[in-house]
Chain A
Amino acid sequence: MISLRNIVFKYGKRVILRNITTDIQDGVTYVIGPNGAGKTTLLKIAAGIYKPSSGEVIVDGINIWDVDEAKALEVRRRIIYVHERPAVLRGTVLKNIVYGFKLRGVNDTGEVLRIVKPIAEEINVVELLWKNAGELSAGQLQKVALVRAIALRPRYLLLDEPFSHLDEESVKRVSYVLRRIVEDQGVCVVVASHIREAVEGLSPRVVMIREGELVKVSPEP
């Protein structure tokens, strides 16, 4: 579980998040709110990318900003955040995917390909693996970034507007894969979205934020 305790995040004098306390539990959690509500910042704080101005981020019982760097890194590697417009490194899609494995000491591209191919097939992006990542469309980037993240088998997968550039067919495929990893691998999936209608019915747990404040959690804890 990722516990966010009294999270405040300031950018200069601007307060982006105000005293947010919530938990990311097993299953699927949706973080919803209008544009600029602070969803992306909240996810990046939960992923350990941003350090909160105050408050605690506790992942599986470990306060990630209160332990040494090696321990924090070990905990951070359980979490992967995928941006709405994912960044890519120069080179092929496969090189981008291999990068995460290299960080974990796996340098054999063949081994990586063996892990990645079934996921790429499910999301229908196998033919993109050898393409230059810089030439992909926004929708292709979202799918490839998802493959890159899932292949690393994270405990927590934080997705920022993951369906925003996908067509109907791709949304179905991605939704299927997300449900599968939640059910089969026990991955905690967090989806940030500004469209309430698009997410309701898919998850029993919804965290709603507006102007940096937590306005509702359903079902109530």
Chain B
Amino acid sequence: MPYQEVATIIARSIMVSGLATLLALAWSIPVIVKLLATGGRVAKIALDVAGTLTGIPTVVLGLLLYFLLSRGGPLGFLGILYSPLAMILGQALLITPYIIYLAVSNLMEGRRNIWELALSLGASKTQAALTLLQDGVYSLASVVVVAFNRAVGELGIALMLGGNIKGFTRVMTTAIALEVSKGEYELALTLGGALLAIVLPISIAITTIGKKI
């Protein structure tokens, strides 16, 4: 596999998983604020549901979305199966429970003092929830990194919704799977190393910053 193709695959992986993370974050934040502001039993049940959904196998989610997006499926008219857009949507759905579960757990339990401070200074519950988010931005950043790492490292959705089409939907995980199936272990290991080289520095940077805050 030429160097240029490897670089393109890495760039595509970052783009697909990065956009999926941004999309998941965009629709998760209102949910996070709502859950923080609601609190009590409702929030706990919602959090338990989100926690359970973090365990969903990627192939199962991929399969469900495949049936939804395939030509005969209810969303087949969109015509996005085997495209980066389908991969972005699938990965965004995959990591949404992670973002909601980790963010709400961290902010609700780890920063209870800030919540009480906000309320005692006269914040409404929504204002207090927004204050928690704002003050816990580094905590949220570490959640986003975990979510990105989960997205960039998953295979099931990328394979089922992207189809591993060369030059279009091939990303690192599908390329590694392909190279292994061909017996090209050296190239697979190189791609695996590249994947780690992307994921690890981001995690270390966020952890280091988080400790200093």
Contact of B120 with A103 in the complex, beta carbons under 8 Å? no
Contacting residues, chain A, for B213 (C-beta < 8 A): 90
**Which of chain A's residues has its CB closest to B114's CB?**
A87
Contact of B116 with A69 in the complex, beta carbons under 8 Å? no
Instruction: Please report the C-alpha to C-alpha distance between residue A25 and residue B213 in the assembled complex, in whole angstroms.
Output: 41
Contact of A73 with B122 in the complex, beta carbons under 8 Å? yes
Q: Is A152 an interface residue (CB 8 A)?
A: yes
> Provided the pairs A87-B113, A103-B127 are in contact, do residues A148 and B121 lie with their beta carbons within 8 angstroms?
yes
Contact of B122 with A152 in the complex, beta carbons under 8 Å? yes
> Provided the pairs A83-B116, A87-B114 are in contact, do residues A99 and B125 lie with their beta carbons within 8 angstroms?
no
Q: Is B117 an interface residue (CB 8 A)?
A: yes
Contact of B135 with A89 in the complex, beta carbons under 8 Å? yes
Contact of B122 with A103 in the complex, beta carbons under 8 Å? yes
Contact of B122 with A100 in the complex, beta carbons under 8 Å? yes
Instruction: Please report the C-alpha to C-alpha distance between residue A61 and residue B117 in the assembled complex, in whole angstroms.
Output: 25
B-facing mask of A28-72, CB < 8 A → 1, else 0? Answer: 000000000000000010011100000000000000000001000
Contact of B123 with A83 in the complex, beta carbons under 8 Å? no
Contact of A103 with B121 in the complex, beta carbons under 8 Å? yes
Contacting residues, chain B, for A192 (C-beta < 8 A): none
A-facing mask of B142-163, CB < 8 A → 1, else 0? Answer: 0000000000000000000000
Q: Is B190 an interface residue (CB 8 A)?
A: no
Contacting residues, chain B, for A152 (C-beta < 8 A): 121-122
Q: Is A18 an interface residue (CB 8 A)?
A: no
> Provided the pairs A100-B122, A152-B121 are in contact, do residues A83 and B131 lie with their beta carbons within 8 angstroms?
no
Contact of A77 with B122 in the complex, beta carbons under 8 Å? yes
Instruction: Please report the C-alpha to C-alpha distance between residue A142 and residue B200 in the assembled complex, in whole angstroms.
Output: 41
Pick the residue among A80, A89, A100 that contacts B114 (CB under 8 A). A89
Contact of B117 with A103 in the complex, beta carbons under 8 Å? no
Pick the residue among B113, B120, B127 that contacts A80 (CB under 8 A). B120
Contact of A80 with B121 in the complex, beta carbons under 8 Å? yes
Contacting residues, chain A, for B63 (C-beta < 8 A): none
Instruction: Please report the C-alpha to C-alpha distance between residue A22 and residue B125 in the assembled complex, in whole angstroms.
Output: 27
Contact of A49 with B119 in the complex, beta carbons under 8 Å? yes
Contacting residues, chain A, for B119 (C-beta < 8 A): 47-49, 76
Q: Is A104 an interface residue (CB 8 A)?
A: yes
**Which of chain A's residues has its CB closest to B111's CB?**
A87
B-facing mask of A78-110, CB < 8 A → 1, else 0? Answer: 011111001111100000000110011000000
List CB contacts (< 8 Å) of A118-150 with chain B: 148-149
> Provided the pairs A87-B114, A90-B213 are in contact, do residues A100 and B121 lie with their beta carbons within 8 angstroms?
yes
Contact of B114 with A104 in the complex, beta carbons under 8 Å? no
Instruction: Please report the C-alpha to C-alpha distance between residue A81 and residue B121 in the assembled complex, in whole angstroms.
Output: 8
Instruction: Please report the C-alpha to C-alpha distance between residue A77 and residue B113 in the assembled complex, in whole angstroms.
Output: 18
Q: Is B52 an interface residue (CB 8 A)?
A: no
Contacting residues, chain A, for B127 (C-beta < 8 A): 103
Min CB distance A154 to B, Å, is: 9
Instruction: Please report the C-alpha to C-alpha distance between residue A87 and residue B121 in the assembled complex, in whole angstroms.
Output: 11
**Which of chain B's residues has its CB closest to A43's CB?**
B120
Min CB distance B16 to A, Å, is: 33
Instruction: Please report the C-alpha to C-alpha distance between residue A89 and residue B114 in the assembled complex, in whole angstroms.
Output: 7
Min CB distance A192 to B, Å, is: 14
Min CB distance B127 to A, Å, is: 6
Q: List 7 A-B contacts (CB under 8 A).
A: A48-B119, A69-B124, A69-B125, A76-B122, A88-B117, A89-B131, A89-B135
